[in-house]
Amino acid sequence: MNQYVTGAVIKEMREKNKMTQLQFADRIGVSDKTVSKWETAKGYPDITLLEPIADALGISVTELISGQQIRNANVSANMIHSKFYVCPVCGNVIHSMGETVIHCHGIQLNPSQAENSDENHMVFVERIEDEYYVRIDHEMTKMHYISFIAAVSSDRCQLVKLYPEGEAEARFMIRGVKKIYFYCNRDGLFCQDIVKGIDDKESGYDDTQVRRELEKAADMLFG
């Protein structure tokens, strides 16, 4: 653990919960003088008290230690508001439907900020019966590759993990898919609204020849 709960954090969150030092002390089984010592940096709570303190403040132990209270306005847990966290050490991918505190390899991860796909990260989407075939025009070397592709709808997230020297492609069930996300290990997270892709669910090009001609034109413009 490279950081510990501070008295300033305890005081701030106690006051947010409109508790006096005495009320807070009674809830966790210590004296108000002990709480005062914590809040004036004259001592630290024992590690065995972290869970009772967090419970009394209505937060998790992780939030208590990080000093960041997570308020998730996305109470309906709509998948469209998905967030992706990627560990820079091991490449671990964590998906969340809202704000959260996540650590991996001792690092507190921030959600990746998605950018629109560009000429260096072109995505092609083809409708094949009840699936979307998604291909990213990107190299897949050990040093530069697409880490994952995800298809997100209002009620589900379909995620396919990719690996260097493989293919930057995936298939997803169409069922309400609104966005395609993909992650480049060098340039970060990108997204594409499905209705703005080369092939969309309303007017998908089932004729692969048309799709190939569009890809050829794109290669000429951006290749």
Residues 6+ apart with CB under 8 A from 66: 3, 101, 108
- 205 inside domain: yes
pLDDT of residue 175: 86
Domain holding 147: CATH number?
2.60.40.730
Structural domain harbouring 121: 115-222
- How far is residue 124's CA from residue 204's CA, in Å, rounded to a whole number? 11
Do 59 and 123 have their domain in common? no
Q: What is the pLDDT of residue 202?
A: 41
Give the CATH number of the domain where residue 58 resides.
1.10.260.40
35/40 Cα distance (integer angstroms): 9
Q: In this structure, are 55 and 147 located in the same domain? A: no
Task: Give pLDDT < 50 ranges for the chain.
Answer: 1-2, 72-76, 196-207
Instruction: Output the CA–CA distances (angstroms, integers) from residue 67 to 14, 28, 33, 41, 217, in the order listed.
Output: 12, 19, 22, 15, 52
Give the global pTM. 0.60
CB 9 within 8 A of CB 16: no
| In a domain? residue 97 | no
Return the DSSP state at 207: -
pLDDT at residue 89, rounded to an integer: 86
Query: Do the domain assignments include residue 123?
Result: yes
Tell whether 190 and 129 lie within a shared domain: yes
Cα 132 from chain centroid? Answer: 23
**109 part of a folded domain:** no
Amino acid occupying residue 205? Y
In a domain, 201, yes or no: yes
Confidence (pLDDT) at 209: 58
Residue 203 has what pLDDT?
43
Instruction: Give residue 119's pLDDT.
Output: 87
